[in-house]
Structure 1
Amino acid sequence: MSDTAQAQVAAAARLERLWARGRALLGTRYAILGGAMSWVSERHLVSAISNAGGFGVIACGAMTPDLLEREIAATQALTTQPFGVNLITMHPQLDALVDVCLAAGVGHIVFAGGLPPGAAMRRAKDGGAKVIAFAPALVLAKRLVRTGVDGLVIEGSEAGGHIGPVSLTVLAQEILPHISEVPVFVAGGLGRGDAVAGMLEMGASGAQLGTLFAAASESIAHENFKRAFLRASARDALPSVQLDERFPVIPVRGLVNAGTRRFLAHQAETLQRFQSGELTRDAAQLEIEQFWAGALRRAVIDGDVENGSVMAGQSVGMVSDVLPVATIVSTLVEQAIAALARRGEGAGTDQRSEHSAA
């Protein structure tokens, strides 16, 4: 065997060790999760990711329990591999949604949008599901570990959709060295396997990606939506802007278009109406919040990428073609192995995550 081939074999074995804990938790060939994207992460994309060796995640969003039950069943008809369901913690029927997941035999529930209520988390774990939650800071990561989560996701502000204020590179340095009790998955701006490999070497147990998968051939997103991704650079994916601190705007990263420009004008007009006494503070806040109602569906399903919300992470600049999910996953793995091969076996030193995986 040539030196190059030996290096590839050694690097592949190292990758297996680095994300062994993530794979064990998910029950998958690769510790690659699909980000839960409303209107996009449904049966077709979720099953394709799981069938490719990754871990698909249904975006429940505002679904009712009946709708979620049907979506889970439809996904199970397309894959026998593990997949999860992402539940928003503020959903008014959260307990009922947890029960739907448990009744359908879903093995993993991902809580997003805030700290999961203790009752919902106990309900999920008592029902036999593994619980994964998002940790935007070290103090919250430690708190979630104490409450019994089985895994964490740390998502940087480079991600698409609703984002926090801190980049993944900072979160990784803040959290990865101090959380060893459970696997930690990194997310936000990831578009290449060598970047994933670097995070694994820092102590991550896997990675979550959304933007690359949103433009996959199995994604039901409108062709206009996918073409917008192909045209975009990282600089085109910007967070929404808040004009006045009295009227908070939850930051959402997406491609700048006519809709985002109108949102700025809408905020300015609403602020003027508030200052003139035409609107109360609550009414003005509601006017601002309702601007984007239905905007994501308009972009994803209807293809109105000028007026809709084209949520995308900064990795959108690395989307160069509409590819099958299996190709995306295999490319990520190949890139990770190639990067590890270039770095060799780490001069014989073991990484923390390798010790943890043993």
Structure 2
Amino acid sequence: MTDSIATATPPSTDIGHDRLRRAMARGAAFLGSDHAIMAGAMSWVSERNLVAAMSNAGGFGVIACGAMTPELLDSEIAATKALTDKPFGVNLITMHPALDALIEVCGRHGVGHVVLAGGLPPKGSLEAIKAGGAKVICFAPTLALAKKLIRSGVDALVIEGMEAGGHIGPVSTSVLAQEMLPTIAADVPVFVAGGIGRGEAVAGYLEMGAAGVQLGTRFVCATESIAHPNFKKAFIRASARDAVASVQIDPRLPVIPVRALKNAGQDAFATKQREVAQKLDDTALALAEAQLEIEHYWAGALRRAVIDGDVEHGSVMAGQSVGMVTREEPVATIIESLMDEAASALERRAG
């Protein structure tokens, strides 16, 4: 009798993980991964090693194309495929001057998912991506834009709050999720991002209707991450309040705020904006050129920190979840922790 009862009632951990699998089923099926956990695409960090490790551990890695040329992206995708036979995606910036060529590279490699970031997809880009056999994932910072993207045919959306690292919007993740998930989650898979550092938050967003989540900051200090030891140490030492957003100095420069650890590099960005604004005043630069100079600043500052280890003058982009990054550990261990925490939370909430 005792044995039959034990068989009929699985251990509590099994109950939680079963609930988690069912909650993630839609997102995992869409991504083709074991778990509906996407890795945020972080320039200089999200390259072949971290991407492959993420996918091999059951998550979904995403290459950050950033300012790569088509030739560099071609090499990076090939190198990633040599390290994993699991699905992974490629993040492309919509304003990249060679976007069409980058899309063609993804299609030639059979990349299954392309993530478009940086604004509305240019005309014809969605069709070109789908013609190459890939699914399209876009970022939606507002409900109105989310609905527009769904009508245009995107396959999934990421809603990312201001707690995230790098370029951010003005609204928090929790508010975006409350506003958007009840309206759009039934239409396409929606992945929630920004400020997520533990599995309890993952469970909460899944219960609200998310198909999965996206985390970036949590994986920067993974063993497989090529980020400079100084960069990782800065993360491990930081608290949530150290990750601050940059400010816009001149209204003519529509600078998207960037969240990073406060340092001399953050202060230097304010000086850089003043310099560029002065060039506008002196008609030494056109507005488009001025905006491009700002973007080039961030690209260079980020490389100095991630690759060269200059965490004082470079840009240490980090989300507010950085306070939950306490040590360097393998990607598989991070994912296992997130899954266990999420499963335990779902089990507790089930009574």
TM more than 0.5: yes
2:339 alignment partner in structure 1: 333
Return the offset for 1:76: 0.3
- Aligned mates of 1:242, 1:337 — CA distance in 2: 41
Secondary structure of 2:334's counterpart equals helix
1:146 alignment partner in structure 2: 151
2:211 alignment partner in structure 1: 205
CA contact (8 A) 1:7 1:344 kept: no
CA contact (8 A) 1:21 1:183 kept: yes
TM-score of the pair, normalised by structure 2: 0.92
Q: CA RMSD in A?
A: 2.1
CA contact (8 A) 1:241 1:264 kept: yes
* 1:137-286 correspondence runs (5 A): 137-179=142-184, 180-268=186-274, 273=278, 282=286, 285=290
Secondary structure of 1:261's counterpart equals helix
For residues 12-37 of structure 1, give each alpha carbon's deviation from its aligned partner in whole angstroms, at most 9, with x where no partner exists. 11111111110010011000000000
For residues 98-150 of structure 1, give each alpha carbon's deviation from its aligned partner in whole angstroms, at most 9, with x where no partner exists. 11111111111111111112411111112211111111111111111111111
- Aligned mates of 1:84, 1:54 — CA distance in 2: 11
> Is the aligned partner of 1:300 residue 2:325?
no
Give ranges in structure 1 of 5+ residues lacking alignment.
346-358
Secondary structure of 1:294's counterpart equals helix
Question: Percent of aligned positions with the same letter in both sequences?
Answer: 65
> Is the aligned partner of 1:320 residue 2:326?
yes
Secondary structure of 1:16's counterpart equals helix
1:74 alignment partner in structure 2: 79
CA contact (8 A) 1:45 1:218 kept: yes
> Is the aligned partner of 1:112 residue 2:110?
no
- Aligned mates of 1:285, 1:101 — CA distance in 2: 30
**Structure 1 249/324 Cα, relative in aligned 2: closer, same or farther at 3 Å?**
same
- The counterpart of 2:22, out of the listed 17, 21, 24, is 17
2:57 alignment partner in structure 1: 52
**Structure 1 216/148 Cα, relative in aligned 2: closer, same or farther at 3 Å?**
same
CA contact (8 A) 2:19 2:347 kept: no
Give ranges in structure 2 of 5+ residues lacking alignment.
1-5
Give the counterpart letter for 1:141 in structure 2: A
- Aligned mates of 1:258, 1:132 — CA distance in 2: 35
For residues 202-256 of structure 1, give each alpha carbon's deviation from its aligned partner in whole angstroms, at most 9, with x where no partner exists. 0001000000111111000000000000110000001111223233322000000
TM-score of the pair, normalised by structure 1: 0.90
- The counterpart of 1:27, out of the listed 25, 32, 49, is 32
- Aligned mates of 1:108, 1:267 — CA distance in 2: 35
- Aligned mates of 2:246, 2:332 — CA distance in 1: 32
Return the offset for 1:278: 5.1
Return the offset for 1:78: 0.2
**Structure 1 70/9 Cα, relative in aligned 2: closer, same or farther at 3 Å?**
same
**Structure 1 334/151 Cα, relative in aligned 2: closer, same or farther at 3 Å?**
same
- Aligned mates of 1:289, 1:78 — CA distance in 2: 31
2:3 alignment partner in structure 1: none
**Structure 1 314/181 Cα, relative in aligned 2: closer, same or farther at 3 Å?**
same
- Aligned mates of 2:13, 2:332 — CA distance in 1: 21
